[in-house]
Amino acid sequence: MKDFLLDIVSLIYPRVCVACHSSLFKHEQHICNRCYITLPKTDYHLQKDNPLHKVFYGRANVTAASSFLFFQKKGMVQKMIHALKFKGKPEVAQLLGKWYAEDLKQSNTSLTYDYIIPVPLHKKGMQKRGYNQSEYFAKGLSEVLGIPVITNVLIKYRFTKTQTNKTRAERAENILQSFSIENAGVIDNKNVLLVDDVITTGATLEACIIQLQKSTNTKVSVASIAYAQ
Ligand SMILES: [Zn+2]
């Protein structure tokens, strides 16, 4: 009976893959198996001094940097990011977090973190979207790795509107000024993993790392769902 109802529901609201829009089988969630096996993984967690880590050289003190996927314009990852960011499907971010955590677990890396900290959204952004996609990614990682997520330390206190009318330097300065730290003692002497949805220039993470390292002796590593080279 339950299966029958599910069949009816999927007739009305067809369940499709967020990446290729083909119909999903019952056992598939959000992303079809064909897309799953062709995910463009970076495997940066296996590579010390990888290209993403180099993004932060001379800018912020990062212990390790990795990303689950490569972001390709008009590719499947862009469609996934669009779905989890703008189409009310944060569960996609959570699923990707779980998959990434499985990879990390298998390679025995990243199991020594004390906390996972998602890049925060400003209150206004939160109201507008209703959720923070990076927090869902963090939740997925947390479920598999057993590392707690904390959201009361890194705060976004300035709402950054579209910055198209600003110069690159002005934009960078603006981002740098928009985060702050609270309850800094919570992460004193801790090893934290800062997570974001997409890394492009690294400016957002740089701003967050500067805040996190205002606490005492805090090691920060970064991970994202996707990296746009
Ligand atoms: Zn698909």
Ligand 1 centroid to Cα of residue 107, in Å, is 26
**First-residue to last-residue Cα distance in the chain:** 49
Predicted local confidence at residue 176, as pLDDT:
80
Ligand 1 centroid to Cα of residue 80, in Å, is 10
Report whether CATH 3.40.50.1000 matches the domain 39-227: no
Ligand 1 centroid to Cα of residue 76, in Å, is 8
Predicted local confidence at residue 158, as pLDDT:
78
Predicted local confidence at residue 29, as pLDDT:
94
pLDDT per residue over 148-196, tens digit each? 999 999 999 877 666 667 787 787 788 888 999 999 999 999 999 999 9
Ligand 1 centroid to Cα of residue 24, in Å, is 8
Instruction: List % helix, strand, coil for the chain (3-state, nearest 5).
Output: 40, 15, 40
Predicted local confidence at residue 19, as pLDDT:
96
Predicted TM-score (pTM) of the model is: 0.91
Ligand 1 centroid to Cα of residue 4, in Å, is 24
Please give the Cα distance from 76 to 50 (Å, whole number): 23
Predicted local confidence at residue 162, as pLDDT:
61
Please give the Cα distance from 47 to 50 (Å, whole number): 6
Predicted local confidence at residue 209, as pLDDT:
97
Ligand 1 centroid to Cα of residue 185, in Å, is 44
Please give the Cα distance from 207 to 202 (Å, whole number): 9
Ligand 1 centroid to Cα of residue 69, in Å, is 15
Per-residue pLDDT of the chain (229 residues; tens, 9 = 90+): 667 776 666 666 779 999 999 999 999 999 999 999 999 999 999 998 999 999 999 999 999 999 999 998 899 999 999 999 999 999 999 999 999 999 999 987 656 899 999 999 998 888 999 999 999 999 999 999 999 999 999 999 877 666 667 787 787 788 888 999 999 999 999 999 999 999 999 999 999 999 999 999 999 999 999 999 8
Ligand 1 centroid to Cα of residue 30, in Å, is 8
Please give the Cα distance from 21 to 204 (Å, whole number): 31
Ligand 1 centroid to Cα of residue 91, in Å, is 16
Ligand 1 centroid to Cα of residue 74, in Å, is 14
- Domain range list for the chain: 1-38, 39-227
